Structure 1
Amino acid sequence: MIVITAPTGNIGSHLLSLLLASAPAEEHLRVIVRDPARLPDDVRDRVQVVTGSHGDPRIVDRAFEGADAVFWLVPPDSSLAPDACYSGFTRPAVQALASHGVGHVVGVSALGRGTPVADRAGLVTASLAMDDLIASSGVAYRALANASFFENLLEEADSIRQKGVFTDTVDAHRKAPLVAVADIAATAAALLLDRTWTGVDSVPLLGPQDLSPTDLARIMTEQLGLPVRYERESYADLHTALTGYGLNEAFVRGVVDMKRAKDEGLDAGVPRTADSSSLTSFEQWCVQVLKPAVLA
């Protein structure tokens, strides 16, 4: 039995599709979802559904009964401080993992562990603390240490379409790893189906190459067929914009601190290897995902 949290989200929906396609017949799948209606009909008929939040002690206690493995993803809650958002949300699950003797957990986390900025990286620091909390339950744990997602650029689709501009806070020429959520889901699926692994470790996912905002602008221009340029946003302007949306002040500081840490090398602490270099290129992703969103 594999339990999947956040099955209608970006990573979780990819993961669920992969598991439904590749899991052996004897491998049962159970999902925790707030609104089962968001699951496609053909999916809902093939999985066990537990309705509710996976931050609820009663829900995870019911969902983890009889489970061999869990896919754990915390949906960031911008109404909470980072520690409450990650470790606070996860604490009931840690208790349920231990009480039900769940053997394996694969969690969505971030790069940065062991770097000089890991303890001042805002949301990433909170995510790494969550990893430690899960590991303390005694399960075999693999933290998917992800680079920034290609999919973050989908939030810029309107700006790219209307103004030919995307923004971030990092230096225009700073190269860093980026990864597609489909590659994260594929790695998670392989780990959840294998379960011969033991102990606690991180699995870095760096995408196929390091890219700077300047590189991204050039590739988007080529693949979208329209001029795209990068504008660097100040940390102060980012803070003002996020607080203007009514986000929790501590959460906003967590986002700004994470952005600052990324510009100071947070994602540069893991050497690129064949194992850590996932497959989907930014060019492929632009054609398959970003271009339809921009042209919609």
Structure 2
Amino acid sequence: MIVVTTPTGGIGRQVLTHLLDHDAPVRVIVRDPARLPGGVRERVEVVPGSHGDPDVVMDAFEGAAAVFWVVPPNLTAASAEDAYAGFTGPACDAVRQRGVTHVVGVSALGRGTPQAHRAGLVTASLAMDDLIAGTGAHYRALALPSFMDNLLRQAATIRDRGVFTSPVSGDRTAPTCATRDIAAVAAGLLLDRSWTGTGSVAVLGPQDLSFHAQARIMSEVLGRPVRFQQTPPGEFKAAFTARGASDAMAQAMLDMMLAKDDGLDNAEPRTRASTTPTSFRQWCEEVLRPAVLS
């Protein structure tokens, strides 16, 4: 049995599709089972509730061989540590008590870099990895850069104003990856559990690009001019607090982006194993373009 958390999320739903395509036995933890497509609900065991709830994870992990772990966003958390390690603590207890042998978790690039100690959400993600690794289960942390799919949050401004923004410099070249490639890597690890021990698996996409280079590709794919505009740090943080984020979480978001601007995502060498197939141009053609032009 494989347990999937966030089965309606951007990565979790795609992991779930891969597993069901291979007829794997799957149990999902979901706050609102009605959000699962009908065809999916008929093929999986459903445990309703939050996977931060001790009783829910203890129930869901019974008889499970593997868990796909994702911490859901929580902008109102008291701290990044609470949002990641605090949320994951009950699951770690359940992994131990239920004898789960393998865990695959969504995490971040940066371990071992000077920036990792001041990288906000990334620092908290790496601490979460240590917590899971300490359970005794075999663990693979998916070491991820920024997602191409994050640009979908700016689809309206790309459409209406021809602009997208970030506090990271437009000249900073870094890897990005598509969530569908993350899901494929995660599903592969969950289906073939011949791996042992603890470690990370980087998912780097096929090419490092700057935001200015991304703007040129978007312009070509969309057939309209798109430009990148760097956001001042204070303005970036204020936008999150205006949306209801706690000051600590808004600062953690900003600290992560400033660490990326300082090269956080550039330390991992790209190898054949870490090079995933979806290029930024392909992603723009197949995902961004329909979202912007719809």
Normalised by the size of structure 2, how large is the TM-score? 0.99
CA deviation after TM superposition for structure 1 residue 287, in Å: 1.0
CA deviation after TM superposition for structure 1 residue 76, in Å: 1.6
2:44 alignment partner in structure 1 = 47
Q: Which consecutive segments of 4 or more residues in structure 1 shift more than 4 A?
A: none
The 5 Å alignment of 1:1-296 reads 1-23=1-23, 27-80=24-77, 81-296=79-294
**Gap runs ≥5 in structure 1:** none
Whole-angstrom distance in 1 between the partners of 2:92 and 2:18: 26
Whole-angstrom distance in 2 between the partners of 1:246 and 1:19: 36
Whole-angstrom distance in 1 between the partners of 2:46 and 2:238: 40
Contact 1:2/1:28 (8 A) holds in 2:
yes
- Give the SS at the match of 1:256: helix
CA deviation after TM superposition for structure 1 residue 103, in Å: 0.2
Counterpart residue identity of residue 196, structure 2: T
Contact 1:61/1:93 (8 A) holds in 2:
yes
**Gap runs ≥5 in structure 2:** none
Counterpart residue identity of residue 17, structure 1: T
Contact 1:57/1:92 (8 A) holds in 2:
yes
Aligned length: 293
Whole-angstrom distance in 2 between the partners of 1:240 and 1:28: 44
Contact 1:76/1:86 (8 A) holds in 2:
no
Counterpart residue identity of residue 51, structure 2: H
Contact 1:30/1:47 (8 A) holds in 2:
yes
Normalised by the size of structure 1, how large is the TM-score? 0.98
- Give the SS at the match of 1:117: helix
CA deviation after TM superposition for structure 1 residue 218, in Å: 0.3
